[in-house]
Amino acid sequence: MKFFENNKLNYIVLPMNLVRMLTAINKYKGKQELYKRQSPQMLNKLKEIVVIQSAESSGVLIN
């Protein structure tokens, strides 16, 4: 069984672009629920568009 050793985290070196990405994720965490409540019609329409574009690019026909 592996155990979590907290002191190992002090020596991890992360690339700056990864740190920026994690910071952005943390900044917007939880806001997806706000968008779902404020504009569900727009999100549903975007979802339809994505499904259609994905199917077209893969060559699958949608009925």
Query: How confident is the model over 6-26, as a mean pLDDT?
Result: 86
* Cα distance between residue 16 and residue 40, in whole Å: 35
Pair 62, 55: CB distance under 8 Å: yes
Neighbour tally for 24: CB within 10 Å: 10
The predicted pLDDT at position 15 comes to 92
Residue 63 has pLDDT above 60, yes or no: no
Mean pLDDT value across residues 29-51: 84
Which residue's entry shows tokens 């999100």?
Answer: 43
| Dist CA 55 CA 63 (whole Å) | 11
Q: What is the mean pLDDT of residues 38-61?
A: 83
Backbone torsions φ then ψ of 47, nearest 5 degrees:
-65, -40
Looking at every residue in the chain, the average pLDDT score rounds to: 82
Q: What percentage of the chain reaches a pLDDT higher than 70?
A: 84
